[in-house]
Amino acid sequence: MADGASTAQADAQPPGAAVVAVVGLGAMGGPIAGHLAAVGLRPLLLDLDQERVQTSAQRGGVPADQAAVAGADVVIVTVPDEQAVRACCLDTGLVAALKPAAVLCIASSVRPEICLEIAAATGVADVLDTALTGGVRGAEAGTVNLLVGGDGDALARARWALEPWTATIHRLGPLGAGQVAKTCNNMLHWAQICAITESLELGRRHGLDIRLLRRALLDSPVASRTLAELEQMRFTWHAKDLANAVAAGAQVGHDLPVARQSRQLMPGISVDYVRELLDHELTPQAYSDYEQVTKYDNG
């Protein structure tokens, strides 16, 4: 399969009686398992939290043990962090037990070297890093943007298990490339939030109605999904994401002053602060004046 983007259309069919397993059924893995079940794939389910397993089973998944998961054709790992990824993939011996031509998809956010370490421990299976963008809302809606690193043929074999919960799939290069791309995505995400809130705060302190200001900015060249959906964001994981970005830059001798500054600023940006900022408005006369100006400018 060529590098680049493709639109996921849920049209790749599993070969024969192929089986998919989801390891980790939290905020991302639970919805992913649900989308797989919704298209009739009945994913195997594995999580330390049995309540999560039962919740996903009620949506059509099948509770399984590690031996059953190791026999799956595609295994999607969505545990929270690097420690959990290493524990479930390496410490348990899962990757060494995978069957020939199986594909292990590391959907958790980890450093590229963790992916390489896991790949080195596999026997006859393939490993892809399938980093997720779009957050919990994307997982719940089945519109994840997937950033993939690894062998193109392995991705082709796994597509049937990825398409039901993704909107787009991008193969960016060899194993680890998806995680590098995710780090680039995360850095841009948090830096945008810092710049947007700082800009809106400037407007507020100069007496602008922030509702009107945001409406105007969304009609300008600086319009972005982040600006449009700011109040829907949860502001989690910024410490880990930005630390990973700074570390990734250091690995290649590239200083990231914006990431470092964002790392300092993000702890002061909360859901409550953003809600209060975006709700700032002036008197009804301000809206009247705005409407008059808009009507005049539009002829």
Query: Which positions are annotated as active-site residues?
Result: 182
Residue 234: both structure tokens together: 């949860």
- Please name which of 63, 64, 10, 61 lies closest in space to residue 31, comparing C-alpha atoms: 61
C-alpha dist (Å) from residue 105 to 61, 133, 259: 18, 15, 28
Q: Who's near 16: CB < 8 A, 6+ residues apart?
A: none
Question: Which single residue is written with the structure tokens 């994307």?
Answer: 138
Comparing CA positions, the residue from 60, 28, 24, 21 lying closest to residue 44 is 21
Q: Are strands 166-173 and 4-7 parallel, antiparallel or unpaired?
A: antiparallel
Q: Give the list of residues 6+ apart from residue 195 with CB closer than 8 angstroms, or none.
A: none
Q: How far apart are CA 115 and CA 77, in angstroms?
A: 12
Q: Could you tell me where the DSSP H helices lie in the chain? A: 29-38, 50-58, 66-70, 82-86, 94-97, 112-121, 135-141, 152-162, 177-205, 210-218, 225-228, 238-251, 257-265, 271-278, 284-297
In this structure, are residues 145 and 173 in contact, taking their beta carbons and an 8 Å threshold? no
